[in-house]
Structure 1
Amino acid sequence: MRATLRWAHADLRTHRGEALFLVLATTGVVIALLLASALFGYAANPWQRVFTQTNGAHVWIHARGDADPADLERLRDLDGVTAATGPHRTAHITARTDAARADVELRAADADPGPTARPQVVRGRWLDTGTPDGVVLQAGLARALWAEPGDTVTVPGGAEGPRELTVLGIADTAERDHRAGDRPGVGWVLPGALDRVTAPADRLGQVVGLRLADPDDTGYAVQRAVTLLGADGVTEVSDWKQARAEAQSDDRLLGLLLVTFGLGALLAAALAVAGAISTRVRGHLRDISVLKAVGFTPGQVVRIFLVQHVAFALLGAALAVALLGTLGGRFPGRIGEAVSIWRDLPHHTAATLAVPAAAVLFIGLATSLAAWRAGRVPPVPVARGAVPPAAGMSRAARAALGRRVPPALVLGWRAAFARRGRSLTAVARLALPLLLITVALSAWTTLDRVPSSAGDAGPAATLSARATEGLDERQAARLLADNPDVTAVYPGIEVAALAPGQTGTINLRGLGTDARPYPFTVVEGRAPSPSATDDEAVAGQGLLDLLDLEVGDWVRLTVEGHPQILHIVGRTIETEQGGRVVTTSLDTLAERDPGLRPAFHQVQLRPGADPKAVGAALSRASDGRLEIHEVGGLNEGRAVMRGVLAGLAAVLALIGLTELLTTISAGVRDRERDLLALKAIGLTPRQISGVIVTATGLTALAAALTGTLLGTLVGRWLINEHGRASGIGAGIAQSPSTAVLLLLIAGATAGAVAASLLPAARAARRRPADTLAAVV
């Protein structure tokens, strides 16, 4: 053991640079994996993130407006309640903007919202006394009203007429979000502003949010609250489980993608670390032979390298945890925000311990394999002359030199690809991070294009209009058609349907008529025939999976106790209800119920028209009697997801840089004898540096071309498969533009060239005696 420690100490003093690189490589890889974990926790469960950031309430108790506030205050003293917010006075009203209208629960709030269930302002600012008629809108409500900070919202004002509230900000909360026709969104105003809003007595109320010591005790807390206030005093109860279930139902696709990226990052990091260790062990073959010659057994050799590299791994992992703990929150953009929030999320401590432990364990396994090979090295080094020489220079290379092609370019090409096995391994390991980055860019492009490209993969219509206040469907259709930006108007209705053997309901939708069929965008099969007698329909992937159907099958549904038999002739991309939607013609549904009337209209706009501007014009033309909403896109959280994808690309770039530095180090070491020969034939240090830089650049270029090409193909397949698994359906994948891919290839190649400049210069300045000693 003493001899082992002495050799390890001597080796550390002799090869300080290699040891430092291995520690830093481990640090970079562990940081990358921890960042990937933080980004996964940040984006895969956005509801949990918001709940943690806002210190959300587990239970919301809605009471009547005439309930005694003292009784509501007593809810704070219930067993198991650790904190509370409220009681807050509320008023359920209908708010309007120039573009839309929606049901709103106006809630009185102070300029300081308090520590519990504190809304998180994502745009704009919170309420202040300087703007007494200001309002902060829940994010889903703001989308329904198409409102941004600075816009005005009109609310009932009693005898003085409607009042206008200025939108000061938009906030995220862990409460259940706005849902058109089902649940109002929340708008926060100062108490004085709420006093100036008029609402019927039965629409006035109070609300209290309770934070519990045990989140699973919501049922008990609700029972105690109902007992205290009386059954007649409680109008509504909601808990965190309901809010989480609704929020997570729309994030399955993004969750699947993030899991895939996490596994890919883990694989890339593992290969990077294994490559660094194998390169270092391969560079110590002469030292290993000397150890064998002086009496070290194979087991001792294995133990030397294992202990040494595990110690390096432990040091690198500890350094990574320390750096991320102290500086992680200071990273710019989504990465810093994700790390700051990750610290407060559940299972953070477990992940912080598990990721470095797994990295150290893997490094130990990789070292064991490399050290086992080292233990088999013979005591007498094999003479270099006995090693089969590299392939001679090809005829094309000799011809290129004869035509005065720069020697650095010709010799760099030969150095990069002469040893095919090692060259292919280096290209493959460098290509993996670039492949994953290309997949991330594909996901970014899909999120960016699908929601905004009506007709390409999503619904053909851009807007949905619903008539209110006595406006019949014919008048609504006429008002919509009169707008010059509207190219088509299709009547529609949605009803709940029960499938055979199912206890839940699915969404049955009627769109268009036989005379004017809806232009379905079908990704599999065909569109329904414009004839009510055919009973044809299209469905989302989620419905097909739920009922175990395929395109071409028949399905029997039950609507209000009456059968509805449909022939599924096509599949469409459905981003709502998890894809559990079946759509047919309105006339087909009218065969079952002749009295059926349209409940809304889908509006198709001319290319380039601004949906918000058209919605505002339609709302003004109808005197506010039309509720205008934008047809749902792929995911409401896509802005957050784009930031997370950018962060994952940075993590993968860090892993790729580690792999690149390992490749450069291995290339310089493997070409030491060649460098000696190049100096002997008269190449200048600058030309020798050019050979190394060219070899690295060509390897990186080959890896970039391979990674982007395969990444484009894998990205399309992966996103479509995840779309199928999430219920949205295949056919949503979009590839990055050619310009973006070329920029990625150029950036990766230029980065590799830049990273190789310093090692190349150092190798070119080495004295021939040093190089000769290293290769003998």
Structure 2
Amino acid sequence: MRAAARWASAHLRAHRAAAVLIVLATAGITISLLLATALFAYATDPWQRAFTQSSGAHVWIHTQDGAPAGSLAGLDEVRAASGPFRTVRATAGLQPGGSKATLELRGTPHRPATAAPQITAGRWLDAGTDAGATKGIVLDSSVARAMWAKPGDSLVLSGFATPLRVVGVADTAEVAFRAGETPGVAWVLPATLAASDAGRDQRGRTIGLQLTDPADTDYVVQRAVTQLGADQISDVSTWRQAKAEAEGDNQLLARLLGLFGLGALLAAALAVGGAISTRIRGHLRDISILKAIGFTPSQVVRMFLVLHLGFALLGVALGALLTQTLGTLIPGRIGEAMTLWQQLPEHAWLPLAISGGVVVFIGSATCLAAWRAGRVPPVPVARAAVATGRRLSGTTRRALGLRIPPALVLGWRAAFHHPLRSSAAVARLAVPLLLITIALGAWATLDRFATHPENAGLPAALTARSDTLGDHALRQLLTAQRQLTAYPGAEVQALVPGQTGTITLRGLGTDAHPYPFSIVEGRPAHGPDEAIAGQGLLDLLDAHVGDWVRMTVAGHPHVLHIVGRSIETADGGRVISTALDTLRDDDTTLPAPRPDFYQLVLHHGADPTAVRDALTKASAGRLEVREIPNPADQLSAVRAVSVGLIAVLILIGLAELSTTVSAGVRDRSRDLLALRAVGLTPRQITAVIVSATAFITLTAALTGTALGVLASQWLINLQGHTSGWGTGIAQRPGLGILLLVVTVAVLVAGAVSALPAARAARRRLADSVSDVL
């Protein structure tokens, strides 16, 4: 044990910088994976955030009016209940003549403690204010967005003699509103609900059940049906349904974070394995001596494993400690994500699982390299004569004859003199550079969404509509604005063939003034009955560009010819778009409807906020203008995480570079006699070692960036296809950025290798002779 401890101490003193880099890189990987997991829960799963913050219910059961729904709160599996609430179904519309939606009104005297709606705008109901002549209502945010409703608006509801005033908008973890499928949730005071003259078939009760174990959801539903009777239950919704609907819009962020974290872990494992292999080759004589004095092969293997597992454990512990203690103090979304994640149930075991996985992965990567140490024979073998006695190749001799500096020629020869070792070094250095290039590709794609949204399926920046202005007056108002071009539009929900799902049928622009869609396949729609579709719709219908598709809107069939595919970020790509003229002409028995809204495409340099304020002022507040959501806003966390992961990858690259430099210095130290014999000065010998390292790094940088560009294109377009947006969203990093990455990598390699190379070049010849064994 004493000999092993002394060997480990001597090893650490000889490789302090490499040890520190490995520990810091492992800590960075752990921090990155933990933060990525937290950001995944926060940024890519808003439903989980709403469910946790509202102490949501796992099951919502809707019953007939006379059913004893309150008895379900006494089930053994139920921890808490929200309600039961008396409910009324009503059709609501903004006053006057605005968008309409079906609502489930719930009567409650106070804000429930379980499944508590989270107010995002306005306030909650007040019995002293909202029970008078002007009765108040709070809308779920999903139905509020669909109706364009906001606090202060008036709603006309079927069954109510007077309009209700919207006093608040709230987020919930329930199944979101979908026109024609799921009614929107709204809350009113019991006295307001009692004022409805709705019939018995429109009345009911609703109760939310929070379970001790979410896995018991199906069993609890069965017990509820048994207890109340199937005829008394009108509808059931579960947390799984709500979560499934909420997921999927931000999978790009999740995949990028997971890819970066796991890729960094792979790069670190390769760096550690390469470092062990290099040090074993450099300490064959020391290992032979250890075996000669009585160390068994298993003891030698254990020494290497324990030492490098110690590095991994130290780095993982440091990263986990920093993340848990300081993660919540980070400003912005990352700090909020850590705060939320620490409240989730999986936080009790997931950090331990991630930390353990990092240690196990790095440890498994060290096993093979350490096993080689156990196979070293106890008698050292002379190797240098074979290495240095080989004749120069014809290419090398011709290069020297062309008066190319000897340092470059011999450096190139030294870099690739051992093809297998050189290829392994290039591969290990290329991995972090490949991942850095993928991160830059993701960054460039986000910049494309932010700076050139017209090329990413978002030509329009604003949407305008008005319930009070006539269509002619609205057109005149928009035409008077020189900073924009307005395109009329309308949207309806259509049933696909088989009546198994709904899609969005959209009319935008006119035949004379077509809307500028982002076409990535096929051509724009010009003639009658021509349309372009999103990838999600093509996948849903198993259709392709050039096919004819049939859909039904309110019982009326529409048959359209898909002539192109566009990048479509709304509704999971399940959108088919045509000219508003075509949408009107499909049913000639009805009068042509006025456009529901106008898409506003801003001219270059126009500020959306300034244009919105100008329109609101020009219309005296009668025009409602909204900014169209940009996916880049939801994926902004990628930027912060990318910066951190690039820093971790740089640490891994430096650790691998340290291994490459030490291997090059050791190999060139054996050649000092030969290099000096041919007349090279210490400065030229230093240049040989530095150029050898630079050539390996240059090869790795070119390989890593080239593969990284291809990989980022493929991964981002794959995500675009699976999310329904469609391929064609990926953006390559700029050529200047890639050249900068390659240049910086080579310069850093040269700088890191300069000092060790200078020390090796000035060693005495007697010292070099001892290295031949």
What does 1:148-159 align with in structure 2 at a 5 Å threshold?
none
How big is each residue's C-alpha offset from its partner over 1:718-764, in whole Å with a ceiling of 9 and x where there is no partner? 21122112211111111223343344334434443444455446545
Structure 1 equivalent of residue 399 of structure 2: 396
Are 2:474 and 1:476 equivalent residues in the alignment?
yes
How big is each residue's C-alpha offset from its partner over 1:660-708, in whole Å with a ceiling of 9 and x where there is no partner? 2222222222222134655778877666555544443443344333322
Deviation at 1:527, TM superposition (A): 1.2
Are 2:643 and 1:646 equivalent residues in the alignment?
yes
CA separation of 1:414 and 1:210: change in aligned 2, threshold 3 A: same
What does 1:243-258 align with in structure 2 at a 5 Å threshold?
243-258=242-257
What does 1:408-557 align with in structure 2 at a 5 Å threshold?
412=411, 414-469=413-468, 471-499=469-497, 501=498, 503-529=500-526, 531-532=527-528, 535-557=529-551
CA separation of 1:467 and 1:172: change in aligned 2, threshold 3 A: closer
- Single out whichever of 751-760 and 32-41 deviates more from structure 2: 751-760
How big is each residue's C-alpha offset from its partner over 1:595-636, in whole Å with a ceiling of 9 and x where there is no partner? 252322222221221222222322333343333233343355
SS where residue 516 of structure 1 aligns?
A: coil
Measured in 2, the distance between the counterparts of 1:692 and 1:114 equals: 70
CA separation of 1:694 and 1:52: change in aligned 2, threshold 3 A: farther
How big is each residue's C-alpha offset from its partner over 1:113-143, in whole Å with a ceiling of 9 and x where there is no partner? 999979799xx9x99xxxxxxxxx9999999
* Matched residue type, 2:440: L
8 Å contact 2:547–2:561 — kept in the other structure?
Answer: yes
* Matched residue type, 1:475: A
| TM-score, normalisation: structure 1 | 0.75
How big is each residue's C-alpha offset from its partner over 1:189-217, in whole Å with a ceiling of 9 and x where there is no partner? xxxxx99xx99987xxxx99986533456
* Matched residue type, 2:33: S
Measured in 2, the distance between the counterparts of 1:285 and 1:225 equals: 72
8 Å contact 1:32–1:655 — kept in the other structure?
Answer: no
CA separation of 1:541 and 1:618: change in aligned 2, threshold 3 A: same
* Matched residue type, 1:321: V
RMSD: 5.6
SS where residue 631 of structure 2 aligns?
A: coil
Structure 2 equivalent of residue 314 of structure 1: 309
* Matched residue type, 1:396: A
8 Å contact 2:59–2:208 — kept in the other structure?
Answer: yes
What does 1:112-191 align with in structure 2 at a 5 Å threshold?
none
What does 1:45-56 align with in structure 2 at a 5 Å threshold?
45-47=44-46, 50-51=49-50, 54=53, 56=55
How big is each residue's C-alpha offset from its partner over 1:484-509, in whole Å with a ceiling of 9 and x where there is no partner? 2222423333332222x451111222
8 Å contact 2:34–2:354 — kept in the other structure?
Answer: no
Deviation at 1:308, TM superposition (A): 1.9
SS where residue 482 of structure 2 aligns?
A: coil
SS where residue 518 of structure 1 aligns?
A: coil
Structure 2 equivalent of residue 560 of structure 1: 554
8 Å contact 1:426–1:663 — kept in the other structure?
Answer: yes
CA separation of 1:488 and 1:350: change in aligned 2, threshold 3 A: closer
Measured in 1, the distance between the counterparts of 2:211 and 2:740 equals: 51
Are 2:588 and 1:591 equivalent residues in the alignment?
no
Deviation at 1:36, TM superposition (A): 3.8
SS where residue 464 of structure 2 aligns?
A: strand
8 Å contact 1:60–1:210 — kept in the other structure?
Answer: yes
CA separation of 1:216 and 1:600: change in aligned 2, threshold 3 A: farther
What does 1:685-764 align with in structure 2 at a 5 Å threshold?
691-756=688-753, 759-760=756-757, 763=760
* Matched residue type, 1:389: G
Deviation at 1:481, TM superposition (A): 2.1
Are 2:619 and 1:622 equivalent residues in the alignment?
yes
Identical columns (%): 47
SS where residue 671 of structure 1 aligns?
A: helix
Deviation at 1:185, TM superposition (A): 11
In the comparison of the two structures, how many residue pairs are matched? Answer: 730
CA separation of 1:209 and 1:448: change in aligned 2, threshold 3 A: farther
Deviation at 1:250, TM superposition (A): 0.9
CA separation of 1:694 and 1:388: change in aligned 2, threshold 3 A: closer
Are 2:621 and 1:657 equivalent residues in the alignment?
no
Structure 1 equivalent of residue 158 of structure 2: none
8 Å contact 2:320–2:355 — kept in the other structure?
Answer: no
Measured in 2, the distance between the counterparts of 1:711 and 1:690 equals: 30
Structure 2 equivalent of residue 571 of structure 1: 565
* Matched residue type, 2:399: A
How big is each residue's C-alpha offset from its partner over 1:424-448, in whole Å with a ceiling of 9 and x where there is no partner? 4322321221111111111122122
How big is each residue's C-alpha offset from its partner over 1:460-490, in whole Å with a ceiling of 9 and x where there is no partner? 3332223314x34343333322222222423
8 Å contact 2:531–2:579 — kept in the other structure?
Answer: yes
Measured in 2, the distance between the counterparts of 1:758 and 1:142 equals: 66
8 Å contact 2:383–2:772 — kept in the other structure?
Answer: no
Select the residue among 766, 770, 773 that pairs with 2:770: 773
Deviation at 1:552, TM superposition (A): 1.4
CA separation of 1:695 and 1:380: change in aligned 2, threshold 3 A: closer
8 Å contact 1:85–1:209 — kept in the other structure?
Answer: yes
Deviation at 1:381, TM superposition (A): 0.7
SS where residue 576 of structure 2 aligns?
A: strand
Measured in 2, the distance between the counterparts of 1:481 and 1:236 equals: 48
> Where does the alignment leave 5 or more consecutive residues of structure 2 unmatched?
63-67, 96-100, 107-111, 125-138, 155-164, 197-205, 226-232
CA separation of 1:292 and 1:119: change in aligned 2, threshold 3 A: same
How big is each residue's C-alpha offset from its partner over 1:359-393, in whole Å with a ceiling of 9 and x where there is no partner? 43553464336624862658451342134635645
8 Å contact 2:26–2:319 — kept in the other structure?
Answer: no
* Matched residue type, 2:485: T
8 Å contact 1:462–1:611 — kept in the other structure?
Answer: yes
CA separation of 1:201 and 1:286: change in aligned 2, threshold 3 A: farther
Structure 2 equivalent of residue 260 of structure 1: 259
CA separation of 1:369 and 1:707: change in aligned 2, threshold 3 A: closer
> Where does the alignment leave 5 or more consecutive residues of structure 1 unmatched?
64-70, 97-101, 108-112, 128-136, 157-162, 189-193, 227-233
Measured in 2, the distance between the counterparts of 1:235 and 1:175 equals: 16
Measured in 2, the distance between the counterparts of 1:146 and 1:399 equals: 76
* Matched residue type, 2:456: A
SS where residue 483 of structure 1 aligns?
A: coil
| TM-score, normalisation: structure 2 | 0.75
